[in-house]
Chains A and B, each alone.
Chain A
Amino acid sequence: METIADTNWLLTVVVFAPLVGALIMVLIPQEDEQSHKQVALFTSLVTLGLAAFLLIDFNYGDAENLQYFVDTQWIEVIGAGYTIGVDGMSLPLIALTALIMPLVFVYSWNHIPEPGNAKAFLILSLILETGMIGTFVAQDLVLFFVFFEVVLLPMFFMIAVWGGENRRYASLKFFLFTLFGSALMLLSFLALYFLTEADTFSMLVLTENAGEGITRGTQLLVFAGMFLGFGVKVPMFPFHTWLPDAHTEAPTQGSVILAAVLLKLGTYGFIRIAIPMLPEAAEAWAPWIGLLAVIGIIYGALGCLAQTDMKRLIAFSSVAHMGFVMLGIATLTDFGINAAIFGMVAHGLITGMLFFIAGSVKERYHTLEIKRLGGMLAQAPRLGWILGFVSMASLGLPGLAGFWGEFPAILAAYNPAAGVSEQTFRVYMVVAAVGTVLAAGYLLWLLQRTAMGEPSAEFADDPNITDVSTTEWIAWAPLLFGIVLFGVAPGLIFEVTDPAVTQSLDNCITTLTGCEVAEAAASSGSGGG
């Protein structure tokens, strides 16, 4: 295990820096809103700075191994360790989280949602950040579980307190669905602990073990538990129903965090835990995961076409996009999983941005009903163009980030891992390709109805409808830049993730001889740009 002894503390600091900020804010009186905003933004910028240092300091030549690795005892009686580390798979997601949060705080500078109380809102956001980054660095199943759950409470309250009309229903639904999944996931983790000889929660050991010594039937069951836990979070069809409600009711910042990072916890769980630890079960479940993924793609797209509310439409588009991510994962190939990680980052940037826009539209028009909007390009041209640009990115226009998430995932489905039915996945491929057409359909239609045409009579002379403000520019520019950057140079991500993905799949070669063939086939096309 390659470790850089001097900077191993760094990761711990990155994880808990937001929490320190939150603790400081507890001591500041509630009335002093400005200080709260400053502390929150400063904390998140420090975290971003540390994450940036991590990005620079990271040894890219060794991206397949965990770096900044810390492994100490945590709760000895249950064998849980404080084991953290970062490799090529988690690095892009940590960077994404660290980037999104300051933008959220910038946006919050003059957009604290009703009913106010910046203190509580910002503290919850910081706790969320700790939970999210913690999930991506955890290398111990119990630690992972704890961080995975830490995000629940803040998100629940964010929707419950600062949400829209129907927030009670939406927040409870979000909470109950996710807890249901994660409770069963915990059972699976425990089963894994006892079924492997090692008696450990260490992800490294369990990944190396790769389900050895567990009978096939049990593996399938254990995988099913994890599937529920991660699948609800992704969310996969048919567990997706909490998502449109949560997104629609959540405040803008909540939607952005939810779309940009929270959903990735689920897909990350598949890549990091479920598949490498139980490759045999993953292979057996792959066609079903793929099936649900393509159903999600089509269903999400059809759902989008039927929506009358812009935010709800974006939420359904998330279901479709995460379907592509899951399809990539379900192929169990290096190529597909790289595409999935790319898709996660791209979806984070693009959909996060779309929710920012939706928030700003709501603020100006006081409605997100598509048929009441219109002519945005005439009234607020910059806002309209940004919406157009991000829609293009979202529908997978080559040259923008969205393309590299979708296209390789579809391509990977052409040639899934050996042991996974090729025919089935080729059918999925065709269906997914139809999904991209539908995506273009609903996004262009959205653009046409909201941005083009004449402003509706209702809003024609509304002085509230102004163009993009300075805080909005600051909050949005990095996302827009990222969308272009990763669209032009996808290798920036692929080259980081590929070694780690390859290594994690290499493990299954030892357990499943069948994987080897697919590996060879897939690696010829791997590496992306």
Chain B
Amino acid sequence: MLAGIAPLFGATEFVRPAIDWHAAAPELTLLGFGALITMIDIGWLERARRIAAPLTSLALLVTLVPIITLALDGNDRSMFHGGFVVDDYSLIMKATFVLAGYVVVLMSTNYIAEGDYWENEYYGLLLSSILGMILMASARDLISIFVALELLSIPAYMLATWRKRDLKSNEAGLKYYLMGVFASAVMLYGMSLLYGASGSTLLVDINDAISVATTLDAVVVIGIIFVVVGFAFKVSAFPFHTWAPDTYEGSPTPVTAFISVASKAAGFVALLNLLFVGFLGRDDIFEPLMWALAAASMTAGNLMALRQTNIVRLLAYSGVAQAGYMLAPLAVAGTVPDKALTASVTYLVIYAAMNLGAFAVVIAVARKTRSAKISDYRGLFHYAPGLTVAMTIFLFSLAGIPPLGGWLAKFRVMEAVIEADTASGLVLGIFVAVNSVIALYYYARIGFGMWAEDAPDGDLTPVNVPLSLGVALTLTALITIAMGVVPGDVVGRFTEVSLLAGG
């Protein structure tokens, strides 16, 4: 059979492509540690439990090292004919994924150990999911994008069901899985159409092929729409968000944080890669699509969030709205590509910090109240002032109130849509502005409850926040504030879309 398809590649002899080991070092490091944790589990069984979390943390921190050396090196690297690219954009996303993963490990440490769940498998799966994400940041080829997507999704499906004696957790995982697989199928179909229209899986080649209108236009249009819709599921954009609230609510909360931040960011990264490298020539197709997705997501997400009584479901719907803000710059990506890219990425990075932080507070509070009801946050200030201040920072950052990080994120989005100087851009800007006000209502309502109302039942026993969770909270809070006050160079390194394409 191999002999049968070999002529298709036009080569009879296999030539090993040059491998830049430095460029692949982050992925390889993570892969090595992931394998190590699995091996240790097989060998040591129960005894391995104690070292699982520290080892995973170590793995992530070590993975940061090659990412930093690559960033310091500053050269853009490209492998496999441009299918795997390391540039500033991919490095900052890799760093975000690794740090987000690290924070999730910190959040999981006590949660998973105290819940008497499987630990080594948990961390092993977490690492392999993160591996898929950092791979995604470099993927510039349909196949590698698909492989990365499955690598990051399949462990996440399993992690969602980790509370296996809980029906809700089972429901969460099953819904996530079915929806995810459905989305993959749609996307794969779209990819096959694009491959058919362009004859290549490399995004750069696809862009070249589809930029000029041909008789295959209908195929290209459907292909792009299907691929985008596939990722719209991943980033939980309206109307493809329906899995999110149930999955978020049922999953173990650290996993929810992981799905809502890292997994969503990975979906966005894939979308950015596709749009900016693969489809940029066809902004006439994707811009209206993105416009509609963005406007619908932010409006519907915010309106649905207004009526939530469960904080996790509220964060799920607010996540839909946030996805809308992040999609907004993509609606003008053809006009101001550089600005649109930086806006989306800035939003992703800041969103990661503030949303993870919010979930960290949810975990901390649930340690005492054993509930995620918004009404149980009343009076939090009276027995947990530190957590209240932290939650206030995260919620109002999500709402975009200066000087917290979220304002810069929203600012950049508005900047991009206004710079486009088109009527549709302006209208989208007004959408963002009005939605900020709607969103503020439900964030501020929680803020009001925490600060100004009395605790239910007058129970004022303090919340016991374990060290690792405390570190996670401090880290995310500091990043959230710093991004709003002194963002410095972090969000300014990559401003050129051309870099994305690689060599």
Which of A's residues lie within 8 Å of B, judged by CB? 30, 75-78, 120, 142, 145-146, 149-150, 152-153, 156-157, 160-161, 163, 167-168, 171-172, 175-176, 179-180, 183-184, 186-187, 190-191, 193-194
Q: List 28 A-B contacts (CB under 8 A).
A: A75-B487, A75-B488, A76-B489, A76-B492, A77-B342, A77-B487, A78-B408, A78-B415, A142-B411, A146-B403, A150-B402, A152-B401, A160-B447, A160-B451, A160-B452, A168-B452, A172-B441, A175-B440, A176-B440, A179-B436, A183-B436, A184-B433, A186-B414, A187-B418, A187-B426, A190-B419, A191-B418, A194-B418
The residue that B433 contacts in the complex, of A78, A176, A187, A194, with Cβ under 8 A, is A187
* A228 closest partner in B (C-beta): B433
Contacts of B445 in A (CB 8 A): 172
**Contact A179-B440, Cβ < 8 Å, known A77-B342, A187-B430:** yes
Which of B342, B385, B441, B488 has a CB less than 8 Å from the CB of A176? B441
Indicate if B437 sits at the interface (CB-CB under 8 A).
Answer: yes
| A157→B407 CA distance, assembly (Å) | 19
* A76-B492, A78-B411 known; A153+B419 contact, CB < 8 A: no
How far is B70's CA from A180's CA once the two chains are assembled, in angstroms? 43
B448's contact among A75, A146, A160, A191, by CB below 8 Å, is which?
A160
Docked pose: A255 CA to B489 CA in angstroms = 40
Contact partners of A186 in chain B: CB under 8 A: 411, 414, 433
B495 at the interface (CB under 8 A from A): yes
Question: Does A77 contact B491, Cβ atoms closer than 8 Å?
Answer: yes
A183 and B434 within 8 A (CB): yes
Among B421, B430, B437, B492, which residue has its beta carbon within 8 angstroms of that of A77? B492
Name the contact of A161 in the complex, choosing from B418, B434, B451, B491 (C-beta under 8 A).
Answer: B451
Asked whether any CB of chain A lies closer than 8 Å to the CB of B412, the reply is yes
Q: From residue 411 to 452 of chain B, which have CB atoms closer than 8 A to chain A? A: 411-412, 414-415, 418-419, 421, 426, 429-430, 432-434, 436-437, 440-441, 444-445, 447-448, 451-452
Interface residues of B (CB under 8 A from A): 342, 381, 385, 392, 396, 401-403, 407-408, 411-412, 414-415, 418-419, 421, 426, 429-430, 432-434, 436-437, 440-441, 444-445, 447-448, 451-452, 487-489, 491-492, 495
Query: CA A404 – CA B433 in complex, angstroms?
Result: 38
Most buried by A among B396, B441, B448: B448
A247 to B6, CA, bound (A): 79
Kindly provide the distance from the CB of A189 to the nearest chain B CB, expressed in whole angstroms: 9
Shortest beta-carbon distance, B381 to chain A, in Å? 8
Minimum CB–CB distance from B332 to chain A (whole Å) comes to 12
Contacting pair B419 A194 (CB below 8 A): yes
A/B pair count, beta carbons within 8 Å: 95
For residue A463, give the distance in angstroms from its CB to the closest CB of chain B.
31
Chain A positions within 8 Å of B452 at CB level: 157, 160-161, 163, 167-168, 171
Residue from A152, A179, A184 with most neighbouring chain B CB atoms (10 Å): A179
What chain A residues lie within 8 Å of B429 (beta carbons)?
Answer: 187, 190
Most-contacted residue by chain A among B392, B402, B411 (CB, 10 A): B402
A172 touches B408 (CB 8 A): no
> What are the residues of chain B within 8 A of A180 when measuring CB–CB?
433-434, 437
* Closest chain A residue to B404, Cβ basis: A153
Instruction: Give the distance in Å from the alpha carbon of A77 to the alpha carbon of B488 in the complex.
Output: 8
In the bound complex, what is the Cα–Cα distance between A79 and B429 (angstroms)?
19
In the complex, how many angstroms separate the beta carbon of A368 from the nearest chain B beta carbon? 21
Give the contacting residue for B495; candidates A75, A77, A142; CB below 8 A.
A77
A190 and B402 contacting across the interface, CB-CB below 8 Å: no
The chain B residue with its CB closest to the CB of A117 is B381
Contacts of A163 in B (CB 8 A): 452
Q: Provide the bound-state CA to CA distance between A184 and B441, in Å.
A: 17
Question: Closest 4 CB pairs between A and B?
Answer: A77-B492, A183-B433, A146-B402, A190-B418
A194: B residues at CB distance < 8 A:
418-419, 421
Distance, CA A259 to CA B500, complexed state (A) = 52
Query: Roughly how many angstroms separate A186 CA and B401 CA in the complex, as a whole number?
Result: 12
In the complex formed, the residue of B with least CB distance to A199 is B419
With both chains docked as a complex, state the minimum distance between the C-beta of A254 and any C-beta of chain B, in angstroms: 13
Query: Are A183 and B437 interface neighbours, CB within 8 A?
Result: yes
In the complex the two chains form, what is the Cα distance from A161 to B407 in whole Å? 24
Contacting pair A171 B418 (CB below 8 A): no
A179 touches B396 (CB 8 A): no
Cβ-closest chain B residue relative to A183: B433
Which A residues are in CB contact (< 8 Å) with B401? 149, 152-153, 179
A168 touches B415 (CB 8 A): no
Q: What distance in Å separates the Cβ of A429 from its nearest Cβ neighbour in chain B?
A: 36
**Residue in chain B with minimal CB distance to A127:** B403
